[in-house]
Amino acid sequence: MAFHVYKTIELTGSSPNSSDEAVRIAVERAARTVRNMRWFEVAGTRGEIEDGRVAHWQVTIRVGFTLDDETRP
């Protein structure tokens, strides 16, 4: 069994459509520059209300990724 060391970062994604989409947006944007992402957990959800309706979602997630192995080329 391999040993893993994870680093975590916190991201906040936003969407006018849904909390799920806000999470996807955050993960997909981070994937452009962060390698080896393995998991996420929702740390918080909030939204904006306009005229008595949900207008916007913001979801803060913690993302865990494995560190690069220093012995690899």
For 12-60, how does the pLDDT look when each residue is reduced to its tens digit (9 = 90+)? 999 999 999 999 999 999 999 999 999 999 999 999 999 999 999 999 9
Cα–Cα distance, 32 to 56 (Å, whole number): 24
DSSP, residue by residue, 8-31: EEEEEEEESS-HHHHHHHHHHHHT
pTM of the model: 0.84
Among 51, 73, 60, 50, residue whose Cα is nearest residue 22: 60
Tokens of 70: 């220093």
Residue 5 is inside which H or E element, if any?
A: none
1 vs 33 pLDDT, higher one: 33
Q: Does residue 27 contact residue 59 with C-beta atoms inside 8 Å?
A: no
